[in-house]
């Protein structure tokens, strides 16, 4: 069944697709890669073929973006400019590459009633982002109100994506936290490329999600999906008290934290006219990264979360961004 036929028949909940995937025979999906892959037939060799990286036992791979003080990407460093620590312990970088490779991108669009006045401009900006796709890039469209629904499965056909975006209608309320968790799981399991990203466009309103912030943060740590956020939070209540932050402050803190933990970024435009520039920045950030790999000095297989930090050496005007860490394999 083609993605276009799939979408035109009915929108399907993200949860239903994940349930179907879980019921499928065991084994990785095409292109799927573990955070800490097992040994390949080549043993501890490293090699690259498009976006397929063949690596040895326990090598941890990090997609790293470097930006200057104006958040402009910088792509001219070599391995000697980076330092990696895991739980504070220095690590030896054994794999280094610069990649501008294909991605699996999920577009998570808030179509609740509060987004009605913005939805046309949002669709145009997201369409411009999709127009920067490479031939092998794949995109899925997910909308959310009180639940998340896939309105276009992963496809390389930009026309199908554009038609799906044009069909979305804003109404109802938004379960933001649930939508992010389920959509990140969907991108992780259904995306075919090693590099995966989720773009969330929302006004930050949260209404009745089942999952808590702690649960979604934990879930995102277990995926290797970068989260990018465009948050229209200007209309949220800005009043605060001695013991309580404003709705706007709470929403922005949540979105910044979730994006930062995955190595992504959060944008909060004050005007819809900023969306074109923002979509260009996201496109560059997603597709231009350094890939660093190391064998952890902590060889325990205890399933614990390992916090990772990457720094640029000798040049304070540059900042490195990557996911906050990973979970070790369990024996």
261 phi and psi angles, rounded to 5 deg: -65, -25
Which region among 8-17, 75-84, 255-264, 318-327 has the lowest average model confidence (pLDDT)? 8-17
CATH of domain 3-17+101-287: 3.40.50.410
* Sequence spans of domains, the chain: 3-17+101-287, 47-100+288-327
Contact (CB, 8 A) for 197 and 287:
no
User: What is the rounded distance in angstroms from the CA atom of residue 265 to the CA atom of residue 233?
Assistant: 15
Contacts of 221 (CB under 8 A, 6+ apart): 261, 305, 323, 324, 325, 326, 327
If residue 8 lies in a helix (H) or strand (E), which one and from where to where?
Answer: helix 3-9
Q: What's the predicted TM-score (pTM) here?
A: 0.81
pLDDT at site 9: 34
Nearest to 225 by CA among 192, 254, 195: 195
Q: What is the mean pLDDT of the chain?
A: 83
Residue 194 has pLDDT above 80, yes or no: yes
Contacts of 284 (CB under 8 A, 6+ apart): 73
**Displacement of CA 311 from its chain's centroid (Å):** 21
Burial label, 271 (beta-carbon count in 10 A; 0-12, 13-18, 19+): exposed
Burial 39-68 (b: 16+ CB within 10 A, else e): eeeeeeebeeeebebebbebbbbbbbbbbe
Share of the chain above pLDDT 70, in %: 82
The mean pLDDT value for 308-324 works out to 95
Q: What is the pLDDT of residues 135-171, one digit of tens each?
A: 999 999 999 988 899 999 999 999 999 999 999 988 8
CATH architecture of 47-100+288-327: Sandwich (2.60)
Contact (CB, 8 A) for 84 and 308:
yes
């Amino acid at each position: 069944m083609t993605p276009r036929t799939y979408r035109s028949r009915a929108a399907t909940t993200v949860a239903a697709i994940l349930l179907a995937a879980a019921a499928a025979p065991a084994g990785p999906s095409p292109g799927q890669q573990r955070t800490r892959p097992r040994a390949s037939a080549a043993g501890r060799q490293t090699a690259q073929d498009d976006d397929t990286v063949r690596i040895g036992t326990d090598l941890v791979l990090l997609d790293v973006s470097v930006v200057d003080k104006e958040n402009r990407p910088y792509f001219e460093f070599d391995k000697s400019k980076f330092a990696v620590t895991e739980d504070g312990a220095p690590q030896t970088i054994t794999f280094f590459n610069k990649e501008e490779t294909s991605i699996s991108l999920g577009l998570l669009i808030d179509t609740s009633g509060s987004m009605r006045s913005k939805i046309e401009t949002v669709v145009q900006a997201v369409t411009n982002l999709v127009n920067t796709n490479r031939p092998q890039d794949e995109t899925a469209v997910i909308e959310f109100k009180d639940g998340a629904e896939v309105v276009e499965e992963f496809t390389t056909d930009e026309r199908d994506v554009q038609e799906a975006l044009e069909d979305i209608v804003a109404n109802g309320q938004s379960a933001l936290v649930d939508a992010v968790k389920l959509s990140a799981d969907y991108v992780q399991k259904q995306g075919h490329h090693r590099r995966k990203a989720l773009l969330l466009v929302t006004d930050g309103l949260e209404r009745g999600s089942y999952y808590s912030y702690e649960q979604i943060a934990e879930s995102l740590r277990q995926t290797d999906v970068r989260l990018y956020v465009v948050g229209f939070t200007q209309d949220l209540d800005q009043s605060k008290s001695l013991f309580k932050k404003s709705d706007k402050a709470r929403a922005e803190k949540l979105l910044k934290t979730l994006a930062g933990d995955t190595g992504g970024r959060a944008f909060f435009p004050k005007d819809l006219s900023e969306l074109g520039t923002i979509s260009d920045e996201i496109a560059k950030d997603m597709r231009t990264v350094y890939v660093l790999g190391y064998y952890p000095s902590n060889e325990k297989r205890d399933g614990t979360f390992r916090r990772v930090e990457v720094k640029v050496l000798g040049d304070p005007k540059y900042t490195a961004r990557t996911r906050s860490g990973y979970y070790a394999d369990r024996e």
